Copies of this chain bind each other. A is one copy, B any other.
């Protein structure tokens, strides 16, 4: 008994894109989102402008929401969680719990788009004082202030004179256990640095980095303008400690290009936190029996170039479920995952390839 329905789990950008495309390809879709509203991390965490030409996250993600929810073939369940999955590819029974009620959705295929969570910079990075100093914040905190067009020193409410970004917090770090690079933090920090300079023109902005991973067009669209037009100061260096001194922050470390120790006062320090699998990704991977890597991200099938197919027939993944990814990665892999779910249903229904 095969079903023409795809259940998409996760209503962020990837889940929305997979939903919209699967519906356009002729499938019924049930989109299950734990939060009360769609949009995923960019909406829940108040992202301001995206690295895509500094366009509004609300506008661009809003378009994805409109596309996904505009189809009569799509049933949206917000504030709902998948609690169990039985059956197999072609004939899954997906238990969805919402407000105390639970029912079962019959589905032929599942797309998992449960995404990432920001690395908690208080965990194992005590030298940065994230929970100790109000003026040590993380990328998502800076993003929310930038969205409100009110980038201030949190402890004083006044515009900062000196702002530092520290890269690779919770990434490229063996001690923390996250050896991978989180891919987007360099781009997002640089974007935010430009926005800080625009909102607080008198502020000096520094980015302390190991390598600036401004791949592809981020190089010419963000990195060069940050330096040339917005005078963001990039310092190849390692920050080992943040202290409070005379009502300000003091960052200590080494400027590796100059080959000398540094000790610099700052008003605001932004920790460029990396990506880890979200709790939803961990829970669903476990529940679905998906192979994961040592970091908890889901692995796709080996010995192929496929980016969305898992070890469980009928279950496809996209976005940051498989590891750190940018929005282009998320949207591309979501399209591929939604389409492969539909192709899987067609094959199961005996439609010739």
Give A50 Cβ to nearest chain B Cβ, in Å: 8
Could you tell me if A343 and B24 are in contact, using CB atoms closer than 8 angstroms?
Answer: yes
Could you tell me if B353 and A71 are in contact, using CB atoms closer than 8 angstroms?
Answer: yes
Contacts of A216 in B (CB 8 A): 180-183, 323-325
Given A64-B305, A331-B306, are A73 and B181 also a contact pair (CB < 8 Å)? no
CA distance A172 to B71 in the complex (A): 43
A13 at the interface (CB under 8 A from B): yes
A133 at the interface (CB under 8 A from B): no
Report A41-73 CB contacts with B as 1/0, cut-off 8 Å.
000000000101101000111011000000111
A287 at the interface (CB under 8 A from B): no
Question: Chain A: how many interface residues by the 8 Å CB criterion?
Answer: 72
Report A292-325 CB contacts with B as 1/0, cut-off 8 Å.
0000000000111111100000000000000111
A139 at the interface (CB under 8 A from B): no
Tell me the interface secondary structure of chain A in the complex: loop
Contacts of A212 in B (CB 8 A): 211
Given A26-B346, A55-B303, A64-B305, are A339 and B335 also a contact pair (CB < 8 Å)? yes
Report A205-219 CB contacts with B as 1/0, cut-off 8 Å.
000000111111111
A1 at the interface (CB under 8 A from B): no
Give A332 Cβ to nearest chain B Cβ, in Å: 4
Could you tell me if A308 and B332 are in contact, using CB atoms closer than 8 angstroms?
Answer: yes
Could you tell me if B331 and A307 are in contact, using CB atoms closer than 8 angstroms?
Answer: yes
Contacts of A329 in B (CB 8 A): 328-329, 332
Could you tell me if B179 and A339 are in contact, using CB atoms closer than 8 angstroms?
Answer: no
For residue A24, which residue of chain B has the nearest CB?
A: B343
Could you tell me if A331 and B305 are in contact, using CB atoms closer than 8 angstroms?
Answer: yes
